[in-house]
Amino acid sequence: MVGLWSFFGIFAALVSKILVIADTHDKLPPRVVELAKNADEIWHLGDVCNEIILDELRGIGPRVTVVRGNCDYNHEWPLTVDLKRGGLRFRLQHIPPERPPPDVDVLLHGHTHVPRHERRGTVLLLNPGCVTRPNRGAPRSVAELTIAQGTLDWRLINFER
C-alpha cells in the first residue's frame, strides 16, 4: 500500500495547478481567494494596482508571480517573466505583443479585460479575462492552468456578474 501512495505522490508532483488572474484593479473577490487555496502557484498578469492585493494572495500560501501592468506603479515588478513548467516555456506579460515571440510555447497576458485562447503559429496566447471590470460583454473571470508532463489544460472560470 505504501508503494501505491508513493506512486500517487510522485504523480501529484508532476502536475501543477496554477491560478491565473489579471486586472484585479485594487479588488480581490472572495471567489478568487477560495480558488487560490487549491492552487500550487498564482500568476498575476498585471494591473494589481494596490500592493495589498499581492499581500493577500501571498498570505493564502501558493507562490505568487506578478508582472507589472500599465496601472501598476511598483517599478521593481518585471514587465515580463519567462518560466519553464512541465517542459513548456511560458512568458507572462501584461500587454499583448503585436506578434508572438518565437522563443515561447505559451504567452499569457492581461490588459484587454477579455478572455483569450488562441493559437498563432506555434505559440498559444492565453488571457484569463478580468475579475473586476470585464470588457466587450465578457463575464468576470480567472483561469486555471493545469500542466502535466508537457501538456496543458486551460479552464476559464466565469463569475456571475
Distance CA 137, CA 157 (A): 15
CB-based contact 104:91 (threshold 8 Å): yes
What would the pLDDT profile of 51-88 be if each residue is shown by its tens digit? 999 999 999 989 999 999 999 999 999 999 999 999 99
Cα separation values, 3 from 6, 8, 10, 13, 91, Å: 5, 9, 11, 15, 37
pLDDT confidence of residue 2: 47
Structure confidence by residue, pLDDT tens digits, 92-142: 999 999 999 999 999 999 999 999 999 999 999 999 999 888 777 789 999
Query: Which residue shows C-alpha cell 506603479?
Result: 73
- Tally of CB atoms within 10 A around 37: 10
Q: Which residue has the higher pLDDT, 101 or 4?
A: 101
Say which residue the cell 473577490 belongs to.
29
- Residue 153 phi, psi dihedral angles, 5° rounding: -130, 125
Position 150 pLDDT exceeds 90: no
State residue 15's pLDDT score: 85
pTM score above 0.85: yes
E strand or H helix at 24, and its extent?
Answer: none
Query: Letter for the amino acid at 101?
Result: P
Residue 161: the pLDDT is 54
Find the angle CA(113)-CA(114)-CA(118) to the nearest 5 degrees: 135
* pLDDT value for 89: 96
- Per-residue confidence (pLDDT) for residue 14, from 0 to 100: 74
- CATH number assigned to the domain with residue range 2-158, chosen from the 4 options 1.10.3720.10, 3.30.530.50, 3.40.50.300, 3.60.21.10: 3.60.21.10
